[in-house]
Amino acid sequence: MIAEELLPTNDSALSDPDLDLDVLATHWASYSTRWPMNAEQMRGADRRAQRMGVESRDLMEQAGFAVAVAARATLNSVERQSSGRVLILAGPGNNGGDAFVAARHLAGWGVESVVVLVSAEEVPGTADAAANWEALADLPPVERIHAGSSREVSLFLNGIERAALVIDGLLGTGVTGRLRDPISQAVDVCVGARRAGVPVLAIDTPTALDLSSGTPSEPNVLANVTVTFHRPKQGLLTKYGRAAAGRVLVAPIGIPSEADVG
């Protein structure tokens, strides 16, 4: 079962390789007018959608494809020219899983990326994320790297100014308190990229920004573009949330509207 809405993977308008952020924002504008959710409401809608028959793997596929589309649109929209690769920083959970899906679709469009699993463990912590991490193995335009320590992560600051784009797929909803390494160090890489003029795209929320309150933990990512899913999020509508998220796009991923009410 999948919700009756035009999902990213079925949307022919998103196949345009020259699509930019202005056109994409207009195309998805109706989703931004939906009433906003907090983090707990979004987790509840996700759980109810799965009980209604929507596969979690399908939700991740739609989310990751939407991120890939937004990434390509971002690359088409920035004045800064770069021949570098896309750097994708992914945590061990489903936020990272969305990032892995995005990398796979970007590869299909010929976009080269370095995908870094930022985790003490060598395998992502959820089944869906792990499957999408493995799907990147031996995919020619993708270089997979496991970075399990803050020292290993910090190496990505070297030459960060040459990256075409950084994608923040570290942490999604439910983050509270000060971040721990190596995730904290990966946030520093995102911050360093932004300072160097490299655009940063966040998945669902900039890492360490609470999607309910808009309150940041330390350190936190400041994004140029954020792709959030299904509905706007309350935390991204606060003063600080708007500043941290940059341009916010709301993408459909297949959660039925009936799943919004518990």
Q: Domain range spanning residue 45?
A: 18-76+84-256
Residue 1 is predicted with a pLDDT of 39
Query: Closest Cα partner for 112 from 91, 136, 80?
Result: 136
Q: Determine, yes or no, domain membership for 40.
A: yes
Closest CA to 118 of 215, 207, 200, 209: 207
Q: Is residue 261 one of the residues assigned to a domain?
A: no
In a domain, 7, yes or no: no
Q: How many of the other CB atoms lie within 10 Å of CB of 120?
A: 13
Instruction: For residue 60, tell me if it sits in a domain.
Output: yes
Task: Specify if 31 maps to a domain.
Answer: yes
DSSP, residue by residue, 5-59: S--GGG-GGGG-TT--HHHHHHHTHHHHTSPPB-HHHHHHHHHHHHHTT--HHHH
Q: Is residue 9 part of a domain?
A: no
pLDDT digit string, tens, across residues 160-181: 999 999 999 999 875 666 788 9
List the CATH number of the domain containing 248. Answer: 3.40.50.10260
Q: Which of 4-13, 19-28, 83-92, 140-149 has the lowest mean pLDDT?
A: 4-13
Helix (H) or strand (E) holding 185, with range, is: helix 183-195
For residue 37, tell me if it sits in a domain: yes
| E-only strand ranges, 101-237 | 113-118, 142-147, 165-169, 200-203, 225-229
| pTM score of the predicted model | 0.96
**pLDDT per position as a tens digit, 52-85:** 999 999 999 999 999 999 999 999 999 887 779 9
Joined together, the tokens standing for residue 193 give: 């990229």
179 falls within a domain? yes
The count of structural domains within the chain is 1
